[in-house]
């Protein structure tokens, strides 16, 4: 046996433990039978401030692509990548902008976002969402959807023409 065994990594906080159950998977399947092409789901309980930030980034990416094709799976992937790589100043600016947008409709929502911003500002990390339990909190299941509501083409990243794929 080795002379020194490295210590086990610390356990994830309870709020970051996966909550997907067979019931969740059944719900996803049944929703698909009801005509829903794509679902965005959380793997565990997620802070409201982070959820607001994720939704803002997700919908920006969802609306920024090809106008004839909505790709929620790709938008979720791009959102996760942005969160994983975003330096703290970019995250703080994004939260400030989001609080300013929300303030006219919901002063309390803006205050909650500002409070969340202070928790991020207090983190010692330069990249606040570098840990997988932050950037991988949400995932999308389903297809790209065409303008008329039909199923559109969705490329897997490893396929030619897919994000990060070949030609």
Q: State the pLDDT at residue 29.
A: 60
For 67-88, what is each residue's pLDDT tens digit? 656 688 888 889 999 999 999 9
Say if pTM beats, i.e. exceeds, 0.85: no
Q: State the pLDDT at residue 34.
A: 61
Q: State the pLDDT at residue 118.
A: 96
For 135-162, what is each residue's pLDDT tens digit? 888 888 776 555 434 344 443 334 344 4
From residue 87, alpha-carbon distances to 36, 42, 91, 123, 139 in Å are: 35, 23, 7, 12, 22
For 28-68, what is each residue's pLDDT tens digit? 565 555 666 777 888 888 889 999 999 999 999 888 866 65
Q: State the pLDDT at residue 63.
A: 85
Q: State the pLDDT at residue 157.
A: 39
Q: Residue 134 pLDDT > 90, yes or no?
A: no
Q: State the pLDDT at residue 147.
A: 43
Q: State the pLDDT at residue 133.
A: 84
48, burial (CB in 10 Å: exposed 0-12, middle 13-18, buried 19+) = exposed
CB atoms within 10 A of CB 120: 18
């Amino acid at each position: 046996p080795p002379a020194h065994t490295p210590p086990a990594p610390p356990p994830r906080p309870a709020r970051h433990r996966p909550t997907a159950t067979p019931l969740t998977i059944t719900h996803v399947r049944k929703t698909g039978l009801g005509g829903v092409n794509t679902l965005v789901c959380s793997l565990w309980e997620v802070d409201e401030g982070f959820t607001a930030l994720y939704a803002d980034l997700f919908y920006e990416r969802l609306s920024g692509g090809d106008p004839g094709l909505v790709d929620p799976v790709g938008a979720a992937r791009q959102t996760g990548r942005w969160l994983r790589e975003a330096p703290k100043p970019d995250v703080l600016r994004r939260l400030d902008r989001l609080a300013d947008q929300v303030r006219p409709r919901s002063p309390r929502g803006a205050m909650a976002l500002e409070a969340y911003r202070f928790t991020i500002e207090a983190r010692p990390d330069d990249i606040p969402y570098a840990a997988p339990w932050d950037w991988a909190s949400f995932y999308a299941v389903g297809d790209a959807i065409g303008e008329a509501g039909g199923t559109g083409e969705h490329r897997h990243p490893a396929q030619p023409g897919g994000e990060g794929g070949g030609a």
